[in-house]
Each structure stands twice: as structure tokens, then as C-alpha cells.
Amino acid sequence: MPPPLDRTAAHPLLGRDLAAFGDRTALVTADEEISYAALAERVERAARRLGTGRRLVLVAGANSVDAVVGYLGALAAGHAVLLTPDDDAVIGSLTAAYDPDVVCRTRRGRWQCTERRDGSAHELHPELALLLSTSGSTGSPKLVRLSYDNLRANAESIADYLGIRPTDRAATTLPLHYCYGLSVLHSHLVRGAGLVLTGLSVADTCFWELFRRARGTSLAGVPYTFTLLERVGFAAMDLPDLRYLTQAGGRMAPEQVRHFAQLGRRRGFDLFVMYGQTEATARMAYLPPDRALTSPAAIGVPVPGGDLRLAPVDDLPGADVGELVYTGPNVMLGYAETPADLRLGRTVRELRTGDLARRTEDGLFEIVGRRSRFAKVFGLRIDLQRVEAGLEADGVRACCVASENELVVVVEQSGRDEQLPRLIASRCALPPRAVRVLALPELPRLASGKVDVPAVAALAANPGQATRPAGHPGRGDGRPAGHPGPATRPAAGPGPATRPAVAAAASVGPATVAEDDGARLRELFAEILDRRDVTDDSSFVGLGGDSLSYVEMSVRLEQLLGPLPAGWHTMPIRRLRDGARPAVPRRRRTLDTVVALRAAAIVLIVGSHIELFTVRGGAHLLLAVAGFNFARFHLTDIARRRRLRHLGASVARIAVPSSLLLALVALLDHRYGWQNVLLLNEALGPRTGPQRNYWFVETLVYTLLALLALLALPVVDRWERRGPFALPLALLAAGLTVRYGLLPLSPWDNLATPVLLFWFFALGWAAAKATAWWQRSLLAVVGVTAVVGYFGNPLREAVIVTGFLLLTWLPRLPSVAALNRVASVLAGASLYIYLIHWQVYPLLQSYSRLLALAACLAAGVLFGTLVGWATRCLPRPRGRLAASPPATALVT
């Protein structure tokens, strides 16, 4: 046994003994709660196992109890800790560069500390406590040297301005090895507060279940985290214990800062925008919450104990702009680039941040650029950060790199791609030939959520890699072969995982699908969506997938991967590949509820028209399903113009086949007129007789056109993104005023049917955006109440109510393989079956109603196949930037 731990020589975390907080809760995980007393015992045991002889200890900083205990134990025993991601490549690189004496990490599911020698191979400065990388998870040998005083001072400073209480519980939404994530741990431990320890992403529903159960009070995030929060419906979540959010790790758009600040005022939490660097341990400035609405672009004021000033910089426009320089007790000792540097003491007294800033009239600091991000192109000085900020204001995420003769802008795919080069050239006063734009499904990101600028530079140098067709040798993910790729999956953001496979495993399953299967997935997406630009970062929705292709894709994917996770249509192929299970025979199969409802509804519609049976309600249920698919496939986080383009093309995919078919029908059957051909019968009449057979198609087209006009308004687009559940709920309320006769329709009698039926569509839309149980419960009550008594036909109302409740509560239904195949075919052709069955069944109804039903279904499937073939034969736009996805999202 090692000798007793010498408390006089050891350095308990930040100068505090954890046991002093007694029975307070320190850590909450999905499996257990650990008190400070219990944590102190575990830390003591870990410290004793490492011994008292001062050594360099590499700790793989996963978001787990073992990693936290190992890290605190190494600090408490007085060792110098090299904190890294739990990544084989990074650990291997830093082990080779710094030769640690002990390596502590998880091996085969168990925490292990491997002693590489008895003593130490290093001369370690007495103040050296922690070594952190400034480059995320790349394994760069350049490290920041931090002292015990650095850690203690910054933790106390953060705890001070955040007002951390012993009752607070912060979720570990960021990796432990990242200085921002580590500062959350430090600042809460010094105040005896708790941490909700998890490796889940905020995009995972299990994260929110744990957060509520643990009574979480705060969340920390980088800008991408806040984008994810908007995607998952954070604004409508029930989080009764939430006190504040913190944001750092890069500039967040002022509009987004203002949005979350306003949301906080309504919901009772604060937003702290913060600024920092690893070289300052974590934080240097913060924006007081009461200034977030009035000064959303500012980084705020220095943290307690620190000071900021502006140093003059030559060749800068504006005398009020300078380089931001920070001084304070949290400034690092200096850098280390070799093991010999570990014996050095303080070599840095102040931190020149490299950021260009100005001080506003009200005393707040505001970042306006970065010295290293200025470039000269054609002799002109270009601020790359300002170019990116300007594009972000236009709704385009971008990263810029430059050479002497060219500015390269890598963007996440946008509907404005073809205009971007000229727009950027005009803003920068460059000739158009000096600007090149590359479009990717997602910008590559590091584990911290920041854009991976070296990966972007590699793309700029090898543009052919960014547009490699599916199946091409190499990665196929938009990065050069051999590049490590982004450290996190794009769909889940900067969570604790540091590799795509690890990240996917957190919410999907073990990473067991081979790279060959990744190629098969890309080929499958390319085949079904008829796309030539599929990469590992592409998603079904991002490639313009619609409800028709959704049906075929889900069936084909289940054959390849087995059961699909919820929300698979928004996941990048990389995550499906790394997290899916290979298909194996299984006793229980499931069927997507939307597919089941579409197939069942079209059979009920046609069968009832043929009078094989009389079970009505299918068409009205399909309106709710259309609303559900509208929300699922159109109201994603893509730019507004791209949304509108997709939606406009969806209307065309409904209207054009319908009009062409009806033109042919009108030539052969004079009961139909030009109003039917132009889909104007519901608007102009006559609204009786056979002419009304296509009321469903016209109602759907009118509804989508109205929403297209509504979402074209920038203010409505912003409302929808900020309140994805609130907007359809408000529209549902408006629709119900018509349903209950509170809004007289006499001036618009000829439009009564589409307006009267809009609430069915709005119900489905709201159901797709309902993320909390209370939202689903509210919709269930409203939907059932509105449907019951509407038709005066209990069976018809029961069909609609049952379908709507299934749509709201059950994403998948038990099924069998044969039923899955039949349902997928019928659901995929549901619109075409509806269009053509009016002309088919009268020919066979007198012979056999069952035969007439089968003929209608077969004719609709054939018609849908012909439409799909004709669509694929249409000419495609050519050019380097023609890779943005086609808008083909059919919503029925």
C-alpha cells in the first residue's frame, strides 16, 4: 500500500476538501446519486492509488463518474494532469509527444490507470497542475500550462458572477476535456453544488428526461448547442427548475442571443453570454443577463478579479479598435510544446487574445474581428470573420479561408448558393473570379462544436473532395481521405462524444456497421432520392427527401440496418452507419405510423367510394397526416428561401400531375371542366356533383399555397423557428374559430370548404412539433373534442380520432414483414391512387367491388411509378454550385 496521503503536500481540488460538503449531492447520473462525502472517499482512493510522488498523469476526460474521480484524484494527490479526449488517436499522439508516467482511461468498459514507470521521467514545476490542448481533439502537442491558482481563481470567479448556489445542478452538456466543460465542473464543486453527469446530447430525449428527473438548474452550450435547442423545441419544454443558460465557445449571432434572452424573460431563466480562452483557464468576460437584450453583440465586462484593455494595432480602420488584452490570476503560466517545457514557471503575465475589439459607450467590450483572420486577396485586406458574420445574418452558415488570389467560402447548403459568389465579391470589393463557394451538407466541427477550420482549409485546397459522388473511393463525407473529420456528429452537436461512432452510440446503438455498409447507405440514398451529391454528412431531409420517398427509404433502410431510431430522417448517414445494427431476423417488426395511416386511409377512401364497405373519415385523417409531414419535412432548420423553394416545389408535385391527369379526363368525360383542370373548382364552383370529386387535392393545394405566402414573411419564419409548437397551435385556434362558427364565412362562401377544414391540417402540424407530454396531451384533448360531433357520424369520427391519437403518441406500430411491404407501396402511391380511382372503379364496380378496389390500387401505383420516372427524366441544372437539393417534398 502507498503511504498515507500527506494533506500538507497535496492539493485538494481548488483548495477545498470535498468531504466538507457532507451529504449534499455532488453527481447525478442516470443510475445513481453520489454525495460529496462519497465522492471524497472515491477521490481519496484514486489519489492513494496514484501515490504521492509527483508525476505526469494523462487522464482521458469522458463525462463519466470514473473519469471525474480519476481527474480529481490526480489533482488531489498533487500530480500534473494532462487532460485529453477519450480518443485512441489523440491519446496516442500526446503519449508519444509527452511520455506521461501514468495513463488513466476506460478500457473494455472499465476504468484503468496504467503506470508506465515507477517514478517520473519529468521535471515538473511545483505550480503546474493541468495541461490542456487549445485545438480541441486534434492531438496537437502545443498545450496550455495551468497552475492550481489558475484553476481556483477562475472557478471562484465564475461561481461568483453566476451566483452558483449549493442547490444548483448543472448538466454536463460539454466534454470534460474542453476548458468550458471543465469550468462547469470546477465552478460547481467549489460551491458544493451538484452536476448532472451525462454523455448524452441535448438532441436526445433521454437527456431531457434525466435533466428533469435530476432537477437540473443550468445548461452550458456553444453556439451550435443553441441551434440544437431550437431544433428540439426547447422553447416549449417544461423545465421548472431551470435558472440560467450559459453560452461561450464562439460568437453567437446577436439575433439568437436576443431570442434566448427574451425566452428567458418569459420563462424565468437568465442567459449569460461569456467569452474566454483556454489560455485564461476558461473565462475572461461575461455579459450581464440584463444587458443581453440591449447589447446582444457584446462580450460584456471582465470577470471578477480580471481586467481587459485594448492594445493599439497598426493598419486597422478605426481608432477605437484594438487587440483585446486580458490580465488576471487565471492567466496561464505559458505554453508547452515539448516535455522540457513542463519544468518552466510563469512565462506569461498578460494574455494577448488575438481578438480585435472595441469598447462601447456603456462600457461593454465587443469583438469585431480577429488578427489572424485578416487576409490579403488581390491586395485588399479582408476580414474573414466579418464575411462569415454577414452571411450568417443572411441565414447562411459559412467558414472562409483565403490565399493571395482567392477567397474560398465553404457554406452549409443554401438556396442562394448560385448568387453567393457575386454577393460576396460585391461586399468585399473583389472581382467575381476571386471568390469561390463550396457547398457542404454540414460544416465540419470539432468536439467543442466550433468549426474545424483546418478541415475547411483542406477542402479549399482539394475542392474535388467536397463534391465526390456517392461510391467514390475515400471517405465520401466531403473531406479529403485521411482527414480525421469532425469530432462530433452534425445532428447532435458538441456533446461529450469525440468520435462519430461514440456519439452515435449514445442514442442509437453500438457502432457495428462496416464502412462498406456506409457506401451502401450512400448508394441507397442516391438511388431513392436521385441525387449525385450524397456524403456521409447528408441526411434524408437535407437531401430534399419527401413523404413518398420516406416510405420507400424507411423500408429499404430497415432491411439493411434493422429497426430504425426515432427521427432517423434528420440524422446524417454517418450516424446511421456508425450507430445502426445490421439486419437480423427478429420476431417483432414495426411499421411507421404515418405509413400505416396513409395506407389504411387510402384503402378506406377507395373502398367506401366503391361501396365495398362504408367507413368514412380517411380523407380528413389524411389532411392531418399532410400537416404532420409538412412540419416534419419542410419546417427544418434550413434557410428561409430554401424552405420556400422546397414548399413551392411540393405544391407543384401535387398540382402538376393532378392537372395533367384532369386535362386528359376532361377530354374524355365532359362532366369535368376547366375549373377542375386548373384546380379551381373549390374556389369557383360548381361545388356539387362529380366536379367536387377532387376537393381533397384542391384543399391541400390551397392550404400549402397559403402557408407558402405566410412563411415568405421573414417575421413569420422567425416566429416558427422560435416557437415551432406555438405557431401551429395559434393557427389551430384560428381554424377552430371557423369550425365552431365563431368567424362568419358568408363573405367567402365559395371558399368555405378549404377554410373550414384547415384545422385538421393544423392538428397534424402541431402533433409533429409536440415534444413534451403535456403538449401531446393538450392536442389529444383538443383534437378529440373538435372531431366528436363534427360529422354526426360516430364511426367516421372514431376513425379520425383513432388515427390522430396514433399519430400523436405512437411513432411506430407492431407489424409483420408482408404488411410492411404492402403498406409501403400503398402509402407511397396514396396521392396517385386518390387521383385515378375515380376513373377506374366505375368500369369494374358492377362486376366485382373487390376487383374494382384492387384495380384502383394497382392503377394508382402504376401512375405513381410513371410520375416518378418522368420526374427523374427532367433536366437538371448544371454548374459547380448546382448541388443544393431539389425541392421535392410531397406532403400527402
CATH code for position 577? 1.10.1200
Across 799-808, average pLDDT: 95
8 A C-beta contact, residue 594 and residue 863 = no
- Report the alpha-carbon distance of residue 15 to residue 333 in Å, rounded: 19
Lowest-confidence pick of 320-324, 682-686, 692-696: 682-686
Nearest to 252 by CA among 281, 221, 283, 279: 221
Residue 723 has pLDDT above 80, yes or no: yes
The arithmetic mean of pLDDT across residues 99-121, rounded, is: 92
CATH number assigned to the domain comprising residue 65: 3.40.50.12780
Are 336 and 411 within one domain? no
Nearest to 710 by CA among 728, 729, 737, 736: 728
If asked whether residues 259 and 307 sit together in one domain, one would say yes
Residue 394 has pLDDT above 90, yes or no: no
pLDDT at 513 over 70: no
Which candidate, 456, 528, 478, 575, places its Cα nearest to that of 828? 528
Domain that holds residue 251: 13-363
Average pLDDT over residues 85-91: 85
Q: Are residues 358 and 378 in the same domain?
A: no
**What is the pLDDT confidence band of residue 516, given thresholds at 50, 70 and 90?**
low
Tell me, yes or no, whether 735 lies in a domain: no
Tell me the CATH number at 397: 3.30.300
pLDDT single digits (tens) 416-471: 556 788 888 878 877 777 888 888 888 887 766 678 777 788 777 776 554 333 33
> Is residue 599 a part of any domain in this protein?
no
Is 480 found in the same domain as 400? Answer: no
Task: State the pLDDT at residue 598.
Answer: 94
In angstroms, the first-to-last Cα distance of the chain is: 71
Three-state SS letters, 759-794 = HHHHHHHHHHHCCCHHHHHHHHHHHHHHHCCCCCCH
pLDDT band at 828 (very low <50, low <70, confident <90, very high): confident
More reliable by pLDDT, 102 or 692: 102
| Chain segment 474-504, per-residue pLDDT in tens | 333 333 333 333 333 333 333 333 322 322 2
Query: Are 422 and 277 contained in the same domain?
Result: no
For residue 438, what are the β-bridge partners?
410
Longest dimension (CA), the chain: 101
| Tally of domains within the chain | 3
Return d(Cα 734, Cα 621) in angstroms, integer.
19
The upper half-sphere exposure of residue 31, i.e. CA atoms within 13 Å in the direction of its Cβ, equals: 3
Only one residue has cell 459547380, namely: 880
827 in a structural domain: no
Average pLDDT, the chain: 82
Residue at 762 is within a domain: no
In this prediction, residue 640 carries a pLDDT of: 82
Return the higher-pLDDT residue of 600 and 584: 600
In this predicted model, which residue has the larger pLDDT, 803 or 444?
803
| Separation between Cα atoms, residue 279 and residue 308, nearest integer Å | 14
User: Are 392 and 253 contacting, i.e. CB atoms less than 8 angstroms apart?
Assistant: yes
Do the Cβ atoms of 617 and 799 come closer than 8 Å?
yes
Predicted local confidence at residue 482, as pLDDT: 31
Bridge partners of 169, per DSSP, are: 194
pLDDT at 203: 83
Same domain, 217 and 146: yes
CA distance 313 to 691: 75
The answer on 357 and 373 residing in a single domain is no
Helix/strand/coil for 689: helix
Grid cell listed for 858 = 394497382
Distance, CA of 178 to CA of 84 (rounded, Å): 8
610 vs 671, more confident: 610
336 and 248 assigned to the same domain: yes
What average pLDDT score do residues 862-885 get? 61
Q: Residue 354 domain-assigned?
A: yes
CA pair distance 725, 762, nearest whole angstrom: 11
**Do residues 298 and 411 both lie within one domain?**
no
Nearest to 227 by CA among 245, 249, 252, 258: 252
Report which residue type is found at 17.
D
Q: 165 and 68, same structural domain?
A: yes
**For residues 647 and 653, what is the distance between their CA atoms, to the nearest angstrom?**
10
Q: Examine the pLDDT at 16 and tell me if it is beyond 70.
A: no
352 and 384 inside one domain: no
Q: Which of 570, 586, 602 is a domain's end point? A: 586
Query: Domain for residue 616, yes or no?
Result: no
Query: CB of 591 within 8 A of CB of 820?
Result: yes
**CB-based contact 776:767 (threshold 8 Å):** yes
Q: Collapse the DSSP code of 252 into the 3-class scheme (helix H, G, I; strand E, B; otherwise coil) and give the result.
A: coil
| Domain contains 240 | yes
Last residue of one domain, picked from the residues 566, 586, 606: 586
Q: Are 59 and 88 in a shared domain? A: yes
Q: Which of 343, 363, 383 is the last residue in one of the domains?
A: 363
Q: What is the mean pLDDT of residues 61-67?
A: 92
Q: Which residue has the cell 373502398?
A: 607
Can you tell me whether residue 177 is helix, strand or coil?
coil
Q: Establish if 665 belongs to a structural domain.
A: no
Closest CA to 84 of 74, 72, 93: 93
Look up the pTM and report it: 0.51
